[in-house]
Amino acid sequence: MSERKKNKIPTLGCLSVLIIIPIVFILSLLILKFLWAWVIPDIFPGAVKQGLIVATLTWWQSFKLSIFISIVIGGLSFRKSSE
């Protein structure tokens, strides 16, 4: 009986990771969309009014922006560690 419990523990761990990763990903995109809509129109009201910068992001735009931010932050941390 204890062998069955040992076998279920890794399965539950993998399953919970597969559930948690998409939730964290969607929450991070939601936070990015919220922060953009809250901050950017206040910082650049003229550019938003002229249509140079969007006031709100779509899900696809927030996904691309999060990839860009990850690359920039990853590149900066890589340079710090190589010094």
pLDDT in tens, 30-41: 999 999 999 999
Torsion of CA 66, 29, 25, 78, to 10 degrees: 20
* pLDDT value for 76: 74
- Mean pLDDT across the stretch 45-69? 94
Number of domains the chain contains: 1
Q: Which residues form the domain of 24?
A: 2-82
Could you tell me the two tokens for 60? 């696809």
Give the pTM.
0.69
pLDDT in tens, 5-30: 555 556 667 888 888 988 999 999 99
What contacts 24+ positions apart, CB below 8 Å, involve 30-35?
32/57, 32/62, 32/65, 32/66, 33/57, 33/59, 33/62
* pLDDT value for 16: 83
